[in-house]
Structure 1
């Protein structure tokens, strides 16, 4: 259709063409008709839009500003004719499967958005990502097309001249253009630098102009400078960089013209800002800053442009370079070509380090020249030495020539799809030189190609450029080094070609590319790698002839200082031996570091706040990485780790070499001896071996200071261990990414709300490195998993533990192991049991299942919370046994009980054990009613009734005591007995106490009391009473009373009698603690009763007992009874005296011997005695 329309105009119509890379469309105009079609589909469909009569002279595409048009209008098509400017709405819709967001395009006329040009013919249009529209006119001025919704008297659309003053504006209004005779140099090209907010223009007279839009791009347009002779290096200053300048042009040599101006991103250079391509193929690199240095870079808002200065030049690429499968770098530095072989560049396109030029120097057929920065490393020494010469660091380029029919009119990058671009932006958003890029993500990701092929070929697809020439559209695809290597493996390539590839790129880089092919790490569109190619790449990665073997660095550089016979030797330099690993290890390091580089040292979570809010205000915590980015990165890391693990299991490469030396297990996974040729079997670590040079000529040097060297077996084992460490790091990193994906799928902001303030702050500051390698990362991961499980097993749970646990165990086993699975499965059972209050049988079954699961992992469970659930279910067997099992696990060898614990660890372990004991004690306190209100509120939250009748409470206490006493932990028994006495449960203590209760009561009642023997003579008993005459405190009396009651309950009458006697005759250091006579009488009476009972039992069993014990106790009881009578008489006497003294009558014969006690004071003193 397009060709027919052009032929209809007899080839004399106005025709333009271009590419809208934003919407994946190519366009062309013929007179007043505009055609647009999808350049990716090649389906022949072409959409047409016509304007009124006038021929279209300029076309542009701008993003629609928000809030002006309907949401469906995403772009604005700008059409310029000699008489008016027209805006047309462009609506893009996605395909049915959603893979192509620009599948359909519809053009919507906007009749209210037209404006007259006022006689100015526009030559070119450029637009910013903010939606600004700039137009260059043939009058040499720059205009801006502004549009609004329109209100009141304001027009919806207006044209504003940005480069003229008031005087020029008035003259243009008063004097028509027909009567102006001054020469006008029209602007024919205009390029926008989105990063620095500057505009470059080119006029017909080959002048370059620089304009500034301000730091934010919304300031007034300011003209910075205009350079007239920039295309002629002989007439322009070079700032001291005019070395190796080309010879002066002859008279027949035409002056070169500018064919392309392109801005340079900050990722390409921090102090070069633009490149100009001339018609002879030369390139001029410009800066807009007066000073040259690293301070001029991405933060251009701090330093605005001041000039337009040439900093460096590059000669034209060499001719005679053909396309094909070449992988050598062609240096173009300092070459001078004959004039008859000079390039004739008609058009050029530059973007992110790639240059495409249309050359018509050959008469037969024109060609496309593709120039890129060379990736090959041609070093005079191996790259691992880091001593490359200055020449090797020079900029090298690869040049490919492709003969084509027709000449190139324009070209553009094929932008990645929005989903892929968003993934790349999410990964590299915080990387240096990428933070300043604004939307759209598709164009920002183009800048990553400027980093070169080697650092990005694992994540970026092959670069594609669509070229519009006079014969139609064509697509140019740039092969990366890994693509060349893949093609070498795909064919019957000679080994010499593979060796040349390794030599050109270095063993490390080539090995990294072999890994990418073998593990299939390439971009999704390029991942169609056959198994045969993958296996060949794996074999090359393990081929010592290609990647080398580990060796000692610097040994080849040492000079031998041996002299002739009879000469004098000063010895030789002693150099520390350092292992230098093979190219396979270096390639693994390169591949791993490039995968982890965009996330390793950056925070995982960020706080997202609404636009315009204060940074101090709280926001929503979200993951910095998108779900797609984490999925792709995790898949690549998993593929690489799987490949390495398979090679280890198959014992390929160095794995097999080391395994053949002997004890493969000790070499691959732990330190140990290497047994085999060149190894040591004496048990020493190969890392510490010292091998002396036994060359007789070097004995003098080696005897003075032996050199530390490693055998080949030791070096191989060291490299295998290093590779194994990297493999485990990759595995852990992949599991961390999987865990992050799973957490983000369940609303990380909601899960983070369950964390405390301290953990919340740590989560925001947590880097990926810390998540993988630190204890804080493990702690936060455990907390997030716990919150995730609560989401599933809570009252409003939306799944089962089995469902989410399966994903966690398979995807991140190092963060979620089997014990975690059992714990949360038990919690799920308890949640279900709590909801079955009306079905006690089923509730008990579920509680029993949970208990059985937790008994397998007592040390891994959070008992403080889990036992409260069991307590609410009245399942006290778990409340007792689980804490005691955990306490036992903390001291599995019973070192504390045996007194063999390290004093440094005693307090820590004892504190942890006491925390376990307190869980059981708290259950007793709850049943007794201590802290009942607090427990009741907790019980209500679990949905279980808390009311317990007295009979059930007694039963539960008995159950706890019986279970506790059965556990063989004397330290726990002490805590239990003290708690029972504290709660007033003495009867239960005496009834259900264990065999160690007596010893506990004895040690608690009298710390130095000897054990009371059941059978003892009166003499020995008296001796013991004499030894135990130390004062007894009131706090100790309770334990002795319980001990006496314990003896009575156990039938040990003599021991009970003696304990009562001790209590009756106990001494006190404080007079206030002295027991009353009544209390002493009670103790002695019980002692006599127990002694008599012992005698009766002895008579019945025909085991006589010494009667002196009973006589002694009865005698003491008689004396005490007499003392009580005296005390009683004295109290009566005191009362009578007080009554007589209070009456008015004198004392008379009421008391026969009243003369003995004359006053009341004497009576009172006698009473006290």
Structure 2
């Protein structure tokens, strides 16, 4: 359709094109027609919108400000013609399955939002995330298009010039444009730096201008500086100085022009703020602050720009380079190409460390050059080189050349979908790239790519850039190092190529990538990894020829696989020898730390407050991480831990070797002295031959030195133990994430209300590290689980203990064990029994079931609360036996009774036992009438009849006394007898007292002794 319309105009029409990455659309104009379509569907559908007669000269897309239009209008399409500026509403709707929020786009004309240009032809439009619309005119000025609801006499839309003074404004009103003869340098490009709230412009005469919008982006536009000769390499700002030497280019070579200006995020640099790409491929890195090294990073709003100065330059990428990471060839860094083969860059696109240039230096066909920061650890030099090249210390880049038909007109990143972006924002909200960054999260996620491929390839998808050229649209996908390794495993690759990959990236990084492939940790790409590829990656992770062997620091066994680039060393401080584990352990550490990095040291809960208030009591506690982020991260951690556990169980790699060393099972589970080389496994593990080959060296070394710190087998065992510790940490972390997901599904704020003030404060300050590794984390987890169980058990609960307990036991067994399960089952039985007031038989059965469950875990139960429930049900067997069982568990050896307890622990244990005894004593006090009102209120809450007649009261007291006397605990009997005397139950004491009553009375005071002996003799005479 576009080609036909352009041909209809005989190729003389005005045509523009661009990409709206925010809504996943490409657009083009032909004269007065505007076309827009979905760039990643390729379904041939194209939407058209026409304006009145005049050709469209500039196009922009802005977010609609809230409260002005209907909610459906999310964006505003800005169309500029030579005579008017037009706003069109853009409404996006999601697909039926909800996977694509930009599936449908409808354009809504807004006839009341048009304004005349007053004879100024606009050349470009840029918009901020706040919805501000800036336009650059051919008169060299910058305008802002402002729009409101239009209440009263004010217009709905107006155009405001931001760069003109009073004198210029009067001149424009008084003197017509016909009589103005001064030369105007129109602005042809305008770029917004959202992070620092600045605007860069480029004029037709290759001048660069810098404007400031204030710290918050809502201040008046202020012109900071203008640089006229920024592209002249003979001038000082370019980075050189004038000399008598001939210039590097011939007199005929044209002066390079600016083809691209892009801001640099704080993630890429804290003191470099923009990069300029020239037509010869060179790149100029600019700063807007006074000096290099001044930290202008995340809080750049506190320091406003003062200048525009070149800090560093980067030569053009070398020609004749293709494929990026090529194996078997020396890196092209530092190669110099002939001058007659200089690049001819027509257009360029830079974003978050990636640069795409359209080169037309070749006469046959143009090409796309993709330039990225190199991720490799060192140059791919032959192993005979003793040291790496010094050139490897410099910034390394990978360059890929792709021949294409046509020339690039524009390009843009393919932004992640909002759900994925929100997940990433939730994970990295407190990390540097998102701190202080406004919505939308999709663009903030792009900045994560600036960290490089190695730290982010486990969580970010492959990077995609859509390119609009003269032949149509194409998509460029950047392969990460892990994608290259996966392709090596997927084909019939020679071992030498795998070894070269390990040499290039280092054994640790390469092993981490093997783990990602073997455990299928790649972002949403598990389906791309076959089982055969996964198994090959696992074997490479365990291959000592690739990852090396554990050794003592200072040996040279891993010099080929672990040496990092850095040049020749003149000597180092001699350090004490220490174990240096293999690349497999280093890779596991890298993989684990990158998974846990965005959550480990950050709070897991935050207080969300209403806008405009800072009071803690006005806020609601919520989880910092979204449910989707926790689910994805927990899935990746679980996959990694499952892989490690399967290799351990199959005795693969070092696990297999260590398991074959005699009594080796303890090395994986217990502490103690590390086993020596007492035996070797008869298995086929490649570690056997490696370690056997190393043992003679150990023996020879022992002849030269007084002693050998560790043998090879001991080093292997130490590494296995370290890997097992890491595996357990991953398992615990995965369980913590599972628990957080379950708690968040049941309203964290409601569960947190059950906590006291101290626990509530601790919960808000609790980090993920503390939840996983500290006692406070265990305590808070137990309290939250208890609140969750109470919700299920309570009258508003929507489920059973069995249902929620199954989830807890399967997902986080270290936080919820079998004793917890039995306890909450018992509580559920008691809740059901409390509701059976009219069915005493069923009530007694449920109470008996609860008692039987609790007798298995007396030391784990909260008896003060649970026994009150039994007391309300008149089930006094549990009220007596459960506290006494717990007291016995606290002093299982009866040390207090035998007088053999350590004096340091006597008071503590005695206090705990007395607390158990008091539960029984309180039940007696309640029956006697002391604390009766408290019992009535408790009974009323349980729904049980509270009236107790005197006969029943006497029966219950008798039952308690009989059960108590039967228990063989003399210390408890003393407390019981004292309480009976206190309550005036002397007759019951003498009637039901145990065999130790006489000795108790003998040890009592003289007054009580005579009185109670007399009563005791009278009772005996009556019985005879």
User: Which category describes the TM-score, using the shorter chain as reference length?
Assistant: over 0.9
Measure the CA separation in 2 of the matches of 1:1131 and 1:820. 51
1:733-761 residue CA offsets vs partner (Å, 9 max, x unmatched):
00000000001111101111110000000
Query: Contact conserved, 1:571 with 1:701, CA < 8 A, in 2?
Result: no
- Between 909-918 and 258-267, report the one with greater CA deviation: 909-918
Measure the CA separation in 2 of the matches of 1:514 and 1:727. 16
Query: Contact conserved, 2:280 with 2:342, CA < 8 A, in 1?
Result: yes
Provide the secondary structure at the position in 1 that maps to 2:917.
helix
| Closer, same or farther: CA 187–918 of 1 in aligned 2, 3 Å | same
| Closer, same or farther: CA 245–292 of 1 in aligned 2, 3 Å | farther
Shift of 1:538: 0.4
Query: Contact conserved, 1:962 with 1:992, CA < 8 A, in 2?
Result: yes
Query: Contact conserved, 1:499 with 1:546, CA < 8 A, in 2?
Result: yes
| Closer, same or farther: CA 112–169 of 1 in aligned 2, 3 Å | same
Provide the secondary structure at the position in 1 that maps to 2:1001.
helix
Query: Contact conserved, 2:346 with 2:358, CA < 8 A, in 1?
Result: yes
Provide the secondary structure at the position in 1 that maps to 2:559.
coil
Query: Contact conserved, 1:425 with 1:445, CA < 8 A, in 2?
Result: yes
Measure the CA separation in 2 of the matches of 1:696 and 1:514. 31
Provide the secondary structure at the position in 2 that maps to 1:1010.
helix
Shift of 1:663: 1.3
Shift of 1:1005: 3.5
Query: Contact conserved, 2:680 with 2:688, CA < 8 A, in 1?
Result: no
Instruction: Confirm or deny that 1:54 pairs with 2:54.
Output: yes
Provide the secondary structure at the position in 2 that maps to 1:391.
helix
Measure the CA separation in 1 of the matches of 2:221 and 2:136. 13
2:249 maps to what in 1? 249
Measure the CA separation in 1 of the matches of 2:566 and 2:424. 70
2:429 maps to what in 1? 429
Residue 1128 (structure 1) aligned to one of 1004, 1010, 1015: 1015
Query: Contact conserved, 1:413 with 1:465, CA < 8 A, in 2?
Result: yes
Query: Contact conserved, 2:507 with 2:562, CA < 8 A, in 1?
Result: no
Root-mean-square deviation (CA, aligned residues, Å) is 6.0
- Between 350-359 and 290-299, report the one with greater CA deviation: 290-299
Measure the CA separation in 2 of the matches of 1:1009 and 1:863. 35
Shift of 1:178: 2.0
Measure the CA separation in 1 of the matches of 2:617 and 2:396. 51
Measure the CA separation in 2 of the matches of 1:243 and 1:800. 86
Query: Contact conserved, 2:82 with 2:121, CA < 8 A, in 1?
Result: yes
Shift of 1:898: 1.3
Query: Contact conserved, 2:330 with 2:379, CA < 8 A, in 1?
Result: no
Measure the CA separation in 1 of the matches of 2:233 and 2:65. 43
Query: Contact conserved, 1:224 with 1:305, CA < 8 A, in 2?
Result: yes
| Closer, same or farther: CA 1129–364 of 1 in aligned 2, 3 Å | closer
| Closer, same or farther: CA 327–893 of 1 in aligned 2, 3 Å | farther
Shift of 1:566: 41
Query: Contact conserved, 1:136 with 1:187, CA < 8 A, in 2?
Result: yes
Provide the secondary structure at the position in 1 that maps to 2:976.
helix
Shift of 1:684: 28
1:803-841 residue CA offsets vs partner (Å, 9 max, x unmatched):
111111100000001110110011001001001101101
Measure the CA separation in 2 of the matches of 1:248 and 1:560. 41
Query: Contact conserved, 1:666 with 1:673, CA < 8 A, in 2?
Result: no
Q: Between Structure 1 and Structure 2, how many residues are aligned?
A: 1021
Query: Contact conserved, 2:15 with 2:29, CA < 8 A, in 1?
Result: yes
Query: Contact conserved, 1:521 with 1:527, CA < 8 A, in 2?
Result: no
Measure the CA separation in 1 of the matches of 2:809 and 2:953. 42
Which blocks of at least 5 consecutive residues in structure 2 are unaligned? Answer: none
| Closer, same or farther: CA 108–652 of 1 in aligned 2, 3 Å | same
Query: Contact conserved, 1:551 with 1:712, CA < 8 A, in 2?
Result: yes
| Closer, same or farther: CA 960–40 of 1 in aligned 2, 3 Å | same
Measure the CA separation in 1 of the matches of 2:933 and 2:1015. 50
1:473-504 residue CA offsets vs partner (Å, 9 max, x unmatched):
00000000000000000111111110000000
Measure the CA separation in 2 of the matches of 1:697 and 1:516. 35
- Between 976-985 and 378-387, report the one with greater CA deviation: 378-387
Shift of 1:247: 4.6
| Closer, same or farther: CA 259–964 of 1 in aligned 2, 3 Å | same
1:1105-1124 residue CA offsets vs partner (Å, 9 max, x unmatched):
xxxxxxxxxxxxxxxxxxxx
1:879-931 residue CA offsets vs partner (Å, 9 max, x unmatched):
01111111111111111111121111111111111111111111001000111
Shift of 1:244: 16
Shift of 1:664: 2.2
Query: Contact conserved, 2:407 with 2:469, CA < 8 A, in 1?
Result: yes
| Closer, same or farther: CA 249–689 of 1 in aligned 2, 3 Å | closer
Measure the CA separation in 2 of the matches of 1:238 and 1:542. 51
Provide the secondary structure at the position in 1 that maps to 2:690.
coil
Query: Contact conserved, 1:461 with 1:526, CA < 8 A, in 2?
Result: no
Measure the CA separation in 2 of the matches of 1:811 and 1:384. 52
| Closer, same or farther: CA 403–641 of 1 in aligned 2, 3 Å | same
Shift of 1:379: 6.9
Measure the CA separation in 2 of the matches of 1:152 and 1:728. 68
Measure the CA separation in 2 of the matches of 1:684 and 1:341. 56
- Between 755-764 and 330-339, report the one with greater CA deviation: 330-339
Query: Contact conserved, 2:369 with 2:399, CA < 8 A, in 1?
Result: yes
Measure the CA separation in 1 of the matches of 2:158 and 2:744. 47
- Between 387-396 and 798-807, report the one with greater CA deviation: 387-396
Shift of 1:355: 0.2
Shift of 1:381: 12
1:497-556 residue CA offsets vs partner (Å, 9 max, x unmatched):
100000000000000000000000000145421111000000000000000110000145
| Closer, same or farther: CA 207–330 of 1 in aligned 2, 3 Å | farther
Shift of 1:557: 11
Measure the CA separation in 1 of the matches of 2:951 and 2:940. 22
Query: Contact conserved, 2:468 with 2:474, CA < 8 A, in 1?
Result: yes
Query: Contact conserved, 1:329 with 1:398, CA < 8 A, in 2?
Result: no
Provide the secondary structure at the position in 2 that maps to 1:205.
coil
Shift of 1:666: 1.5
| Closer, same or farther: CA 245–99 of 1 in aligned 2, 3 Å | farther
Measure the CA separation in 2 of the matches of 1:936 and 1:764. 37
The structure with higher relative contact order (CA 8 Å, sep 6+) is 2
Measure the CA separation in 2 of the matches of 1:565 and 1:769. 33
Provide the secondary structure at the position in 1 that maps to 2:561.
coil
Query: Contact conserved, 1:577 with 1:708, CA < 8 A, in 2?
Result: no
TM-score between the two structures when normalised by the length of structure 2: 0.93
Shift of 1:947: 1.2
Measure the CA separation in 1 of the matches of 2:567 and 2:171. 98
Shift of 1:432: 2.2
Query: Contact conserved, 1:382 with 1:506, CA < 8 A, in 2?
Result: no
| Closer, same or farther: CA 1009–993 of 1 in aligned 2, 3 Å | closer
Provide the secondary structure at the position in 1 that maps to 2:230.
coil
Shift of 1:677: 3.5
Measure the CA separation in 1 of the matches of 2:564 and 2:934. 96
Measure the CA separation in 2 of the matches of 1:563 and 1:546. 13
1:646 maps to what in 2? 646
Query: Contact conserved, 1:693 with 1:702, CA < 8 A, in 2?
Result: no
| Closer, same or farther: CA 242–264 of 1 in aligned 2, 3 Å | farther
1:923 maps to what in 2? 923
| Closer, same or farther: CA 473–832 of 1 in aligned 2, 3 Å | same
Query: Contact conserved, 1:686 with 1:714, CA < 8 A, in 2?
Result: no
Measure the CA separation in 2 of the matches of 1:244 and 1:464. 47
Instruction: Select the structure of larger CA radius of gyration.
Output: 1
- Between 226-235 and 626-635, report the one with greater CA deviation: 226-235
Query: Contact conserved, 1:687 with 1:714, CA < 8 A, in 2?
Result: no
- Between 557-566 and 271-280, report the one with greater CA deviation: 557-566
Shift of 1:339: 1.6
Measure the CA separation in 1 of the matches of 2:971 and 2:1016. 52
Query: Contact conserved, 1:353 with 1:449, CA < 8 A, in 2?
Result: yes
| Closer, same or farther: CA 695–539 of 1 in aligned 2, 3 Å | closer
Shift of 1:185: 0.5
Shift of 1:597: 0.2
| Closer, same or farther: CA 246–153 of 1 in aligned 2, 3 Å | farther
Measure the CA separation in 2 of the matches of 1:332 and 1:717. 42
- Between 128-137 and 696-705, report the one with greater CA deviation: 696-705
| Closer, same or farther: CA 242–886 of 1 in aligned 2, 3 Å | farther
Shift of 1:303: 0.8
- Between 616-625 and 785-794, report the one with greater CA deviation: 616-625
| Closer, same or farther: CA 922–708 of 1 in aligned 2, 3 Å | farther
Shift of 1:616: 5.1
Measure the CA separation in 1 of the matches of 2:564 and 2:848. 90
| Closer, same or farther: CA 701–987 of 1 in aligned 2, 3 Å | same
Query: Contact conserved, 1:576 with 1:708, CA < 8 A, in 2?
Result: no
TM-score between the two structures when normalised by the length of structure 1: 0.82
Query: Contact conserved, 1:690 with 1:708, CA < 8 A, in 2?
Result: no
